[in-house]
Amino acid sequence: MNRGMITLMCLGLSIGRVSDSLTERLLGEYIQEGRVVLRNTSKKVAAAFSDRKCYQCGCCCKEMPCLYGNWDEATQQCLYLEVAEEFSQYSTYRCSQYDTIVRQESTKKYPMFGGGCGRPLLNPDRDKIKQYKL
């Protein structure tokens, strides 16, 4: 084997080692970044679920009707959903069947109303009300 060949082989080996360490470093960075994203996301999730109060944003009744609801295709919300308060920055909503539903569920161990918000995450309408009400 001539000198040139040996030099080329050595060069190849060292490039391989450099690229291996570069891959390892990049992989390490990706894992670190992933951990930070996960940590931040779980903090956000924990913060969102720590406040389960209903701010009457109406979002849940605009996504699908509850057991007592009546879906309106035209407005894409439950027919019984009414505006409770209207401000320039936000509106709040109420259920026109609230009293009837509460009466019907009076013997239930876990009645529908009062159980807390089931949509505390990724709910800009609720976030906006929270921001102005707090």
Which C-beta is closer to ligand SF4: that of 61 or that of 90?
61
Tokens coding 116: 């807390």
CA distances from 88 to 28, 56, 82 (A): 48, 16, 17
Residue number with CB closer to ligand SF4 (9 or 122): 122
122 φψ region: left (φ > 0), alpha (ψ -120 to 50), beta (else): left
Q: How far is the CB of 41 from ligand SF4 (least distance, A)?
A: 20
Q: How far is the CB of 77 from ligand SF4 (least distance, A)?
A: 8
Q: Which one, 66 or 105, has the nearer CB to ligand SF4?
A: 66
Type of residue numbered 38: L
Shortest distance, CB of residue 70 to ligand SF4, whole angstroms? 7
Point out which residues bind ligand SF4 (CB under 6 A).
54-61, 65-66, 68-69, 78, 80-81, 95, 97, 117, 119, 123, 126
Residue at token pair 């679920």:
49
